[in-house]
Structure 1
C-alpha cells in the first residue's frame, strides 16, 4: 500500500472506489489501522466499506503510531490526529471531503470539522467512543503502562514491545509507541534514551488531556454547538461506546441526524443504506 509523509510521519493509506472523497478515521482505539473497517467489532459484520466504495472514493489509513504508520515521541493530542487527516487530504489533492469516524475515530473527525470546517462536507459519527467507563478504562491503561515503565525503564518497555505483536489496546504494558518501536530502529534507540521523568510527564499529560471527560473526548462542546456541518450520529452500546456519548453529539451538533436504532438492529443491509442516504443528502 502507498505511504505519505505527513508532518514528518509516514502514513500508510489506501484509496478505493470512485465518487466524492470520504476520509475515514478508523476504529480500534490505539490500534486504529485501516484494516479496522473490515476486521474490528461491528464493522466486520456491517461491511460498510464494501458498500461505501460503490459511490465514494474511500480514503482509509493507519492512524499515527498504529498499524504500519510511523510516529513521534511527544504528547499526542486530538489536534495531532486531526492534522494527519488534513495532511492526507492535501497529499491526495482533495480540497473538501466527507468525514466518517468509527469508534475513537469519531473524536478525530469532529476535531477536524471544528478546526477546518471549510474542508468538510459532512461527517458520519458511527458508534462514538465515550462514557464514564470508557474514560476510566483509558486512564487505567496509561497507569498500567507507566507502572511497567517505572519498574523496567523504557529499555524494558522496548524489549517487551519487540517480543510480542500486541498493541497498546491489547497489552497496556507496551505503551502507545509499541508498533513504531518494532518497525523503526532509530526511533527505538531514541525511545530507550528518553529521560524517565520527562517520559512520565509526557505520558501522564497525554492521558489526562486525551481523556478529560465522561463523554466523547476531543472537541469542546461550545465549538460543536456552533458547527454548521451536517452530521449523522449512530449509537453504540457497550462500556466503550456508551449510548450517552452518541446522544451528547446529537445534543451539541446543530445539524445532527440521530439514527435511533439499537446495535442489534444495525445490519449489513440497514446500516450502509442509512449512511449512504445521509451522504447523498449532504451534497458533493
Structure 2
C-alpha cells in the first residue's frame, strides 16, 4: 500500500538554484542531504520537486541531486531545439557545476535512456546505475518508437489532457487506480496540466525518437546496475528482465508488488529500501582494500 498521499503531492519549488547552459538556457536544480551522491533523473512527465514526496528516507542517508530537464518545469531550453544528447550532457554539466566526481544515477521511464547513455559515455562518473520502470527494451527500439508516435498523435489531436488520459491507466497499476478513484486521477491530472506544456512534452518525445534501444548498449554498461520494476509494469515482462540481466555484465533486479511503471508512487518505502541496500552494498565493497574487492 502506498505511504504517500498522491492527492496532495508537494510540488513547490523551494530554491532558486539554476545552472546556466550554453545557448542561453538554464537548469533548475535541488541539492539536499549528505553522504554518497544520488542523482535523480526526471522522466518527461514529472518535475524535480515531485521527488521530495518519495525520497524522505533516502535524504536521511544520502546527498540527493535532482533537476528539471532543460525545457521542463522551472528550467528553460535556450534557443536551439533540444536533442536527446543535450539531456545526457546536461547531467555532466550539473555534476561539474556541483563539484561531484562520482554519483549513483537513478533514471525512471524514458530517463533510463539518459542514464544508460551517460553511464556508457562517462563510466568513471557513475558509482552505480538504477533503472526504474525502463522505457527501452533489451530487444530493440521498434515497440517504444511505435508507442512514442502514438503519444505524439494523441498530444497533437487533443492536447496534454488527452495524453494524460491515455497514459494514466498504463502508468499506474490496477491497485493504485482503483483505490485512488476520481480523487487521485484529478489530482495527478491537475499537476500534469499545471507543470507540463504541450510544447515541452512534444519536443522531448520527438528527441527520444532519435535514440536507439541497442542491446549492445546494455552489454557495454560498466557500473553495477539495479533494475527496479513494479509487477504491474506495462512496458517490461519478466522475460525481458531476464534478457536484460543476461546482457548487463553486473546487474540485479527487484520487482515491487502492487506497483506500476513509476513504482515509487505505489511503494515509496520499497523503492527507497531497494536503492539504499544497493548503494550500501557498493559502498561497503569500495571501502574494502583493493585486493579484497576482487575476491
Question: If the length of structure 1 is used for normalisation, what is the TM-score?
Answer: 0.67
Go from structure 1 to structure 2 and tell me whether the alpha carbon gap of 1:253 and 1:36 turns closer, same or farther (over 3 Å shift): farther
**Deviation, structure 1 residue 281:** 1.4
Go from structure 1 to structure 2 and tell me whether the alpha carbon gap of 1:140 and 1:229 turns closer, same or farther (over 3 Å shift): same
Structure 2 CA distance for aligned equivalents of residues 103 and 34 of structure 1: 15
Go from structure 1 to structure 2 and tell me whether the alpha carbon gap of 1:66 and 1:20 turns closer, same or farther (over 3 Å shift): same
**Deviation, structure 1 residue 73:** 5.4
Note if contact 1:99-1:122 (Cα within 8 Å) is conserved in structure 2. Answer: yes
Go from structure 1 to structure 2 and tell me whether the alpha carbon gap of 1:204 and 1:103 turns closer, same or farther (over 3 Å shift): closer
In structure 2, the residue matched to 1:143 is 153
Structure 2 CA distance for aligned equivalents of residues 230 and 101 of structure 1: 14
Go from structure 1 to structure 2 and tell me whether the alpha carbon gap of 1:116 and 1:263 turns closer, same or farther (over 3 Å shift): farther
In structure 1, the residue matched to 2:246 is 251
**Deviation, structure 1 residue 113:** 0.2
Confirm whether residue 11 of structure 1 aligns to residue 17 of structure 2. Answer: no
Confirm whether residue 128 of structure 1 aligns to residue 128 of structure 2. Answer: no
In structure 1, the residue matched to 2:221 is 227
The count of aligned residue pairs is 225
Structure 2 CA distance for aligned equivalents of residues 252 and 232 of structure 1: 13
1:97 pairs, out of 81, 89, 103, with: 103
**Deviation, structure 1 residue 204:** 9.6
Structure 2: unaligned runs, 5 residues or longer: 1-14, 160-192, 287-295
Helix, strand or coil: the match of 1:55?
A: coil
**Deviation, structure 1 residue 147:** 6.8
Question: If the length of structure 2 is used for normalisation, what is the TM-score?
Answer: 0.65
RMSD: 3.2
**Deviation, structure 1 residue 236:** 3.3
Go from structure 1 to structure 2 and tell me whether the alpha carbon gap of 1:37 and 1:205 turns closer, same or farther (over 3 Å shift): closer
In structure 1, the residue matched to 2:182 is none
Structure 2 CA distance for aligned equivalents of residues 135 and 65 of structure 1: 21
Structure 2 CA distance for aligned equivalents of residues 270 and 145 of structure 1: 33
Structure 2 CA distance for aligned equivalents of residues 205 and 90 of structure 1: 28
Note if contact 2:133-2:233 (Cα within 8 Å) is conserved in structure 1. Answer: no
Structure 2 CA distance for aligned equivalents of residues 68 and 19 of structure 1: 26
Helix, strand or coil: the match of 1:229?
A: coil
Note if contact 1:101-1:109 (Cα within 8 Å) is conserved in structure 2. Answer: yes
**Deviation, structure 1 residue 271:** 2.9
Structure 1: unaligned runs, 5 residues or longer: 39-43, 150-163, 169-173, 179-201
In structure 1, the residue matched to 2:188 is none
**Deviation, structure 1 residue 104:** 2.1
